[in-house]
C-alpha cells in the first residue's frame, strides 16, 4: 500500500517512562536455576541483544494511566487545546480491559470533545504507527484537523512469567530456550503522537507518506501465548523464533524499502535521520547493512529501554528530538518492522521540534536498580 499526504504534519510527541530500572544482569541472576542446569554463561543475554537494562511499570498500573500522561504532554508541547482533537487512537498491545476500548478512558481523562472519535488499534509492535496512518488519512480527507495517537506497553508480566517458566520447565534445552530470548528483551514505556492539518501546524513537519508492506506467510514466527487467568491478573507468554524472524523481517524490510524509495524519491544516501523499531544490536546492524543506510543517522534506545513494543519507535523519536537528534530540513525516515510480518515506513520532512518530556529522574533514581 502506498500512502501520499499533502496536508498532514507530525506536530509533537510526548512520552512517559517508568521509574523502576531492571538490569539484564539482574534478570540473569533470577535465571540462575536454568543457567546452571544448561551451563549457560552469565552475560550472554546482554552480549546477544545489546540491552543493558529496561524499565517496568508497577504490576497493577493500567496502561491508560501512562497513556494519559504521554498524551497530555504531546498536547502541551503543541500548545493545542484538547477540544480541537477530532480523533483519539490507542494503539498498544497492552490495554486496560478487553472492553471498552482503552481509548475511552484516555478520552475522558484528557477532556476531549464529544465529537472526538475514540477507539483502539492492535498491530503488535506497529500499533501506534498503524494509528498514525489512520489519523493521517482522516486529516487528509478533511474529517478532522488534529488527531492524537497514544499507547502504553508494560512488559513486566511477560518478563516475570517467562523467568518463572524457564526455571520451572526441566525439559528445556539449549535449543528450545532460544524461543524465550525475545521475551526477556521486553521493557515498558508510553508514547503519544499528535498530528495536525498543515493549516494549523506550528512546525510544518510534513508527513509526506510512506509504505505498508505485509509478508504474512511468516505470521507464526512470533506469538503471544494464551493468557491464563489467575488471582492477580493475566499471565502472558510469548514464543519467538528470533533467528528466523530476523531473517524474514529484514527481507520484508528490504522489499518495503525499495517501494518506499520509489514513493518518496529518497535513496538511502538521501535520508539524513532515522528512527527504527527497537529490537537489539543484531537487528539494527543487519537492517542498516541490508538497506544501505548510514548507522550514524540513527538514534537508538534499546540499550536502556529494551524492546517496548508499539511504543519503541515513537518513544525513541521523542527522546531523540529531546536530545537534538533532528535538525531543520532533515529527511527523516520512520522504519517499523513488526511480527506478522508487517512493515510500515514513513517519510517526514522535519522542520521544528516540540516534545514534552517527563520530569528528569534524580541521579539517585537513575542509579537505582530494583529487583523484580
Average pLDDT over residues 218-238: 57
Question: In the predicted model, is pLDDT for residue 29 greater than 50?
Answer: yes
Question: In the predicted model, is pLDDT for residue 1 greater than 90?
Answer: yes
Average pLDDT over residues 182-199: 96
Instruction: Identify the active-site residue in 9, 104, 125, 276.
Output: 125
* Residue whose C-alpha cell is 501520499: 4
Average pLDDT over residues 276-295: 93
pLDDT score for 120: 98
Question: In the predicted model, is pLDDT for residue 367 greater than 50?
Answer: no
- How is domain 1-372 classified at the architecture level of CATH? 3-Layer(aba) Sandwich (3.40)
Average pLDDT over residues 275-293: 93
Question: In the predicted model, is pLDDT for residue 369 greater than 80?
Answer: no
Question: In the predicted model, is pLDDT for residue 94 greater than 70?
Answer: yes
Active site residue 99: yes
pLDDT score for 229: 36
Question: In the predicted model, is pLDDT for residue 354 greater than 90?
Answer: no
Active site residue 116: no
Q: What distance, in Å, lies between the first and last C-alpha atoms of the chain?
A: 43
pLDDT > 70 in the chain, percent: 90
**Using the 8-state DSSP alphabet, how is residue 269 labeled?**
G
Domain spans, the chain: 1-372
Helix runs in the chain, H state only: 24-30, 32-38, 44-49, 63-78, 102-109, 127-140, 156-168, 242-264, 281-291, 302-305, 312-322, 363-367
pLDDT score for 173: 92
**What is the three-class DSSP state of 163?**
helix
Question: In the predicted model, is pLDDT for residue 50 greater than 90?
Answer: yes
For the chain, the average pLDDT equals 90
pLDDT score for 67: 98
Q: Render the burial of 29-49: b for 16+ CB within 10 Å, e for the rest.
A: ebbeebbeeeebeeeebbebb
pLDDT > 90 in the chain, percent: 80
| Structure confidence at residue 359 as a pLDDT band (50, 70, 90) | low
- Tell me the helix, strand and coil percentages in the chain, rounded to 5: 40, 25, 35
Average pLDDT over residues 159-183: 91
pLDDT in tens, 305-347: 999 999 999 999 999 999 999 999 999 999 999 888 999 999 9
Angle between helices 242-264 and 281-291 (to 10 degrees): 40
Question: In the predicted model, is pLDDT for residue 371 greater than 90?
Answer: no
| Structure confidence at residue 248 as a pLDDT band (50, 70, 90) | confident
Residue 369 corresponds to which cell in the numbers above? 536498580
| Structure confidence at residue 362 as a pLDDT band (50, 70, 90) | very low
* pTM, rounded to two decimals: 0.91
- The number of beta carbons lying within 10 Å of the beta carbon of residue 219 is 14
Amino acid at each position: 500500500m502506498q500512502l501520499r499526504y499533502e496536508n498532514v504534519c507530525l506536530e509533537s510527541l510526548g512520552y512517559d517512562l517508568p521509574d523502576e530500572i531492571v538490569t539484564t544482569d539482574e534478570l540473569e541472576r533470577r535465571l540462575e536455576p536454568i543457567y546452571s542446569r544448561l551451563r549457560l554463561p552469565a552475560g550472554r543475554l546482554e552480549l546477544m541483544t545489546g540491552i543493558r537494562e529496561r524499565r517496568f511499570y508497577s504490576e497493577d498500573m493500567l496502561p491508560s494511566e501512562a497513556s494519559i500522561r504521554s498524551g497530555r504532554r504531546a498536547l502541551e508541547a503543541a500548545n493545542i487545546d484538547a477540544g480541537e482533537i477530532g480523533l483519539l487512537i490507542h494503539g498498544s498491545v497492552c490495554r486496560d480491559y478487553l472492553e471498552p476500548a482503552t481509548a475511552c478512558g484516555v478520552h475522558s481523562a484528557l477532556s476531549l470533545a464529544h465529537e472526538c472519535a475514540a477507539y483502539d488499534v492492535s498491530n503488535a509492535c506497529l500499533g501506534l504507527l498503524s494509528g498514525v496512518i489512520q489519523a493521517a488519512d482522516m486529516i487528509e480527507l478533511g474529517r478532522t484537523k488534529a488527531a492524537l495517537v497514544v499507547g502504553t506497553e508494560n512488559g513486566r508480566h511477560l518478563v516475570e512469567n517467562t523467568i518463572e517458566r524457564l526455571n520451572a520447565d526441566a525439559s528445556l534445552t539449549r535449543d528450545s530456550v532460544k524461543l524465550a530470548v525475545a521475551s526477556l528483551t521486553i521493557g515498558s514505556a508510553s508514547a503519544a503522537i499528535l498530528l495536525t492539518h498543515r493549516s494549523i501546524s506550528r512546525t510544518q513537519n510534513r508527513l509526506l507518506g510512506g509504505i505498508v508492506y505485509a509478508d504474512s506467510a511468516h505470521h507464526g514466527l512470533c506469538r503471544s501465548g494464551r493468557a491464563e487467568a489467575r488471582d492477580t491478573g493475566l499471565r502472558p507468554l510469548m514464543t519467538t523464533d528470533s533467528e528466523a524472524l530476523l531473517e524474514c523481517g529484514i527481507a520484508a524490510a528490504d522489499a518495503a524499502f525499495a517501494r518506499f524509495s520509489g514513493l518518496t524519491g529518497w535513496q538511502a544516501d538521501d535520508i539524513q535521520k532515522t528512527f527504527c523499531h527497537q529490537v537489539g544490536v543484531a537487528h539494527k546492524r543487519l537492517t542498516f547493512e541490508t538497506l544501505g543506510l548510514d548507522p550514524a543517522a540513527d538514534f537508538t534506545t534499546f540499550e536502556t529501554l529494551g524492546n517496548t513494543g508499539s511504543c519503541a519507535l515513537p518513544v525513541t523519536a521523542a527522546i531523540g528530538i529531546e536530545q537534538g537528534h533532528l535538525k531543520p530540513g532533515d529527511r527523516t525516515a520512520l522504519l517499523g518492522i513488526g511480527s506478522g510480518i508487517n512493515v510500515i515506513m514513513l517519510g517526514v520532512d522535519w522542520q521544528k521540534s516540540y516534545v514534552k518530556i517527563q520530569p528528569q529522574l534524580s541521579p539517585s533514581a537513575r542509579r537505582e536498580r530494583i529487583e523484580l
